Structures are given as C-alpha cells and as structure tokens.
C-alpha cells in the first residue's frame, strides 16, 4: 500500500512538472499583456468619466455665473412710483428687469403688458422718465419728481 501511494504521489508530481513545462514563458507574456490591456482600458474609461464630470461641473459653473449676472443686473423697479410687486413681476416676465430697460420701453408697450394682465388702474406714462433718473443714480431728482406725482400719475 505504501508503494502504491508513493507511486500516486510521484505520478502527481510528474503531472505537475509536465504541466509547468507546457505552461512556458510565452504563456506568461500573453497573460501579462492581457492584464496590461485590461488596465489600459479601465484607465481610459475612468479618465473619460472624470473628464465628463469636469465638463459638467464647468457647465454648471457657467450657468450659475450667468444667473448671478442676470440677478446682479436686476433693479428694484418698485422704486418707481406706480410700480408695485405685482407690476414688477409682470415687467420681469416681459423681460424688463432694469431701469435702463424700462427707460427704453415705449409707454404703449407698457400699456400692452398691463392690459394683457388685466391691470387698468396703473398709468405708465411717467415710468420711463423716473427710470431714466434711477438708471443715472439721480435719486434726489427722482424724489423731487415723485413728490409731484400721485401713484405714478401727474397731479
């Protein structure tokens, strides 16, 4: 029995030795090349993912900067006598958010915006003049003009 188990051990060792000889250097080279190719593919995929994340972050930053610029150029149109919060929001929806834009808007266009919203009590005739003073930071002159007005209308 000992002889047969020794024979079995020797046969297994011989089998391992033959397998090791058949699995030569060329095979190891191919395995290493395969591993390197996998590593390269993984690196390229992770790089493109990181690059797209960076591009998305840059786009978000640009959008935020543009929004900040828009908000920074918005004036408080309620400083114009006759414009309250409701009319202010209507003007902003119509694309009028600064004193300079209000100055350049025709009274007929302002009337149209108000009439479309169903507001008939407001009179925008003096708004461009008031807005021009506000755009030029002429606050004292604006106050003098507003003292002569009643609800944005001439007395």
pLDDT in tens, the chain (155 residues): 455 555 555 555 555 554 545 556 677 788 888 999 999 988 887 776 667 777 888 888 888 777 665 554 688 999 999 999 999 999 999 999 999 999 999 999 999 999 999 998 999 999 999 999 999 999 999 999 999 988 777 87
Q: What is the pLDDT of residue 12?
A: 56
Q: Give the separation between CA 87 and CA 107, rounded to whole angstroms.
A: 14
The strand ranges marked E within the chain are 149-150, 153-154
CA angle (13 as vertex; 8, 18 as ends), nearest 5: 125
CA distances from 11 to 4, 6, 54, 131 (A): 10, 8, 60, 102
Residue given tokens 């290493």 in the structure block: 32
Tell whether pTM > 0.85.
no
Q: Are 100 and 117 in contact (CB under 8 A)?
A: no
Return the domain boundaries, the chain.
2-71, 77-154
């Amino acid at each position: 029995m000992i002889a047969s188990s020794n024979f079995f051990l020797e046969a297994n060792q011989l089998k391992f030795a033959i397998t090791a000889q058949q699995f030569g250097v060329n095979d190891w080279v191919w395995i290493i090349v395969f591993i390197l190719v996998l590593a390269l593919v993984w690196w390229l995929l992770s790089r493109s993912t990181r690059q797209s994340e960076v591009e998305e972050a840059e786009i978000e930053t640009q959008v935020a900067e543009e929004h900040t610029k828009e908000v920074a150029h918005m004036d408080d149109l309620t400083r114009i006598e006759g414009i309250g919060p409701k009319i202010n929001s209507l003007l902003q929806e119509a694309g009028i958010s600064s004193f300079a834009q209000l100055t350049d808007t025709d009274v007929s266009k302002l009337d149209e915006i108000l009439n479309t919203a169903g507001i008939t009590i407001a009179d925008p005739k003096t708004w461009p003049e008031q807005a021009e003073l506000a755009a030029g930071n002429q606050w004292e002159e604006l106050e003098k003009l507003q003292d002569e007005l009643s609800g944005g209308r001439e007395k």
